Amino acid sequence: MEQSKQLKILLFLTYRITEDLHRIVDDVHYIERMIPQTKKVTSANWNDAKDLFIQQRLDRYNPLYTINEKVHFELEEIRKLFDYGWIDHHYADKQVVIDRYKEELLNLMQDSEDD
């Protein structure tokens, strides 16, 4: 392959990688704005943080999904909250928060079915 074609391919790939990196940085900034790192959900702040936490978690899903569909997906994602660091790192505290979160999600499903 001639050198000018190689250069064009290299420039194109560099451009694409740069675009992808910008997208990733934008995603990270979005997540940081959602829940500041200093405000992780713990058993101590659960009552104050739960409404915002649940709303932000469910808002990640397609707005055309029903509340039950969103809750169903979120129930499958609960364990991943450990890995993503949304929940404080003490294991017992994590379990308490996850149990409370599950209960709130199931209540949302029940309320939705009652309507």
Quote the CA–CA distance of 55 and 12 in Å, as a whole number: 40
Please give the model's pTM, rounded to 2 decimal places: 0.55
**Is there a single domain that holds both residue 61 and residue 46?**
yes
Q: What is the pLDDT of residue 38?
A: 45
Q: Do 19 and 41 share a domain, yes or no?
A: no
Q: Please calculate the CA angle 94-96-101 and round it to the nearest 5 degrees.
A: 90
The predicted pLDDT at position 114 comes to 75
Query: Could you tell me if 78 and 96 lie in one domain?
Result: yes
What is the count of structural domains for the chain? Answer: 2
100 pLDDT more than 60: yes
Statement to judge: residues 75 and 105 lie in one domain: yes
Q: For residue 65, give every residue at least 6 positions away whose Cβ sits within 8 Å of its Cβ, in sequence order, or none.
A: 73
- Identify whether residues 63 and 104 lie together within a single domain: yes
Q: Are residues 44 and 17 in the same domain?
A: no
pLDDT for res 37: 46
Residues spanned by the domain of 21? 1-34
